[in-house]
Amino acid sequence: MADRLVCRDCHRVQETEEVEACIACGSTSLTEDWAGYVVIGHPEESIIAEEMEVEEPGTYALKVR
């Protein structure tokens, strides 16, 4: 997944490489410079999702530069 794009604003990992904007928040600030990821299936029950302020299920990068 290292060649995927990640949103700098919400940290959502983009599943397709040919995107112009984040599928979650609409931001155009995408980067290939990120490390680690977490898959959140039930954000309403997740402490990690709460810390990351994630409200939607999906794959999120832990560190985005």
Q: Which tokens in the block code for residue 36? A: 């680690």
Tokens coding 23: 């599928």
How are the residues of the chain apportioned to helix, strand and coil, as percentages rounded to the nearest 5? 15, 30, 55
Asked if residue 25 belongs to a known ligand binding site, the reply is yes
Element (H, E) at 49: helix 47-52
Q: Is 22 annotated as a binding residue?
A: yes
Output the known binding site for Zn(2+). Answer: 7, 10, 22, 25
Residue numbering of the annotated binding site: 7, 10, 22, 25
